[in-house]
Amino acid sequence: MSLPLPEKLDHSRVRLSQSRLIDRTSATDAAARELRSLILSHELPAGALLHQGDLAKQLGLSRTPLREALQRLAAEGLVRLDPHKGAVVARPTIAEVNEIYELQMMLESAAARSAAANVSVEGLARVEEALMHHYKSSDDFSWVESNITFHTSVYKLAERPLLLEIISMLRNRAALYVNLLARSQNGRARADREHKQMYEALRRGDADRLERLVRQHLQRTLDWCHTVIPE
C-alpha cells in the first residue's frame, strides 16, 4: 500500500505570510516606541485616556499593531488597561514603586557582585562606552533610555541570562519612576555621580563596593520618589 504524497508547499504563500508577520511586528515595535516616548515626555500625561481610533490615525497604523503595542506598554507598567475605560496612561503609585525597587535591590546587587567577579577588558570598555553615551543624553527620554543601557551593560558581565532578563523586566517597569528623576536636574546629577562611582568599583573588580553602591543608588532613587509621588 503506497502512502499519499505530501501536499506541495506553496512557497509564495509562505513568503507572503512571513512578510505580513514582519510588517506587523515592525508596526507594533514602532507604535510601542512612539507611545513610550509620548508618555515619558508627558505629551500623554498620567491618567490620559488613549482613544485607539484617534491614535491609529495619528500614527498611521491599523488597530491590531496599536492594540498589541498598548498591551506591551501595559506589561511595562506605562499603561493601565481598564475594562470599562479602555487604555489609560498609568499614574505612579507609592505601593508599586516600593515593590519594584525592593525587587531591584535584591536582584541588581546580586548581578553587580557577579559582574565584578567576571569583568573583562572588553566588557569594561562596553560599560565605559555606555556611560559616556549616558552623559551626553540631552533630553529626559534619552536619559532614561541610556540609564537602562548603562545598568544593563554592567549586569551583562554577570553572565547570568535569566537574572538579566528579570532585571530588564523590572527596569522597564521602573521607567515611569526613573522618568520622574530625569526631570530633576539635581536628581540626574546625583545619579550621574553614582554611575561613575559604580564604573570605578567595577574597573577595580571591587565586588563589595559595587554591590553597596548599587543598593545605595536604588535606595536613594526610591527615597526621592517618595518625595514627589502622592501617597
pLDDT in tens, the chain (231 residues): 444 444 443 433 434 333 343 355 688 888 898 898 888 877 888 889 998 888 888 888 888 888 999 999 998 889 999 888 889 998 889 999 999 999 999 999 999 999 999 999 999 999 999 999 999 988 888 898 899 999 999 999 999 999 999 999 999 888 888 888 888 889 999 999 999 999 999 999 999 999 999 999 999 999 999 998 887
pLDDT of residue 25: 60
Furthest CA-CA distance within the chain = 81
Q: What is the pLDDT of residue 24?
A: 53
The predicted model scores a pTM of 0.77
Contact present, 103 and 169 (Cβ < 8 Å)? no
126 and 210 both lie in a single domain? yes
Q: Are 76 and 100 members of one domain?
A: no
Whether residues 99 and 81 fall in one domain = no
What's residue 22's pLDDT? 36
The pLDDT value recorded for residue 3 is 42
Full domain range(s) for residue 151: 94-228
CATH code where residue 20 lies: 1.10.10.10
Number of domains in the chain: 2
Among residues 89, 104, 124, the one where a domain terminates is: 89
The whole-number pLDDT of residue 17 equals: 38
Domain boundary pick from 55, 89, 123: 89
One domain, residues 120 and 188: yes
Tallying the residues shown for the chain, one arrives at 231
d(CA 222, CA 206): 24
Does 104 lie in the same domain as 85?
Answer: no
> How far is 127 from 174, CA to CA, in rounded Å?
21
Domain end marker among 54, 89, 124: 89
Residue 6 lies in a domain: no
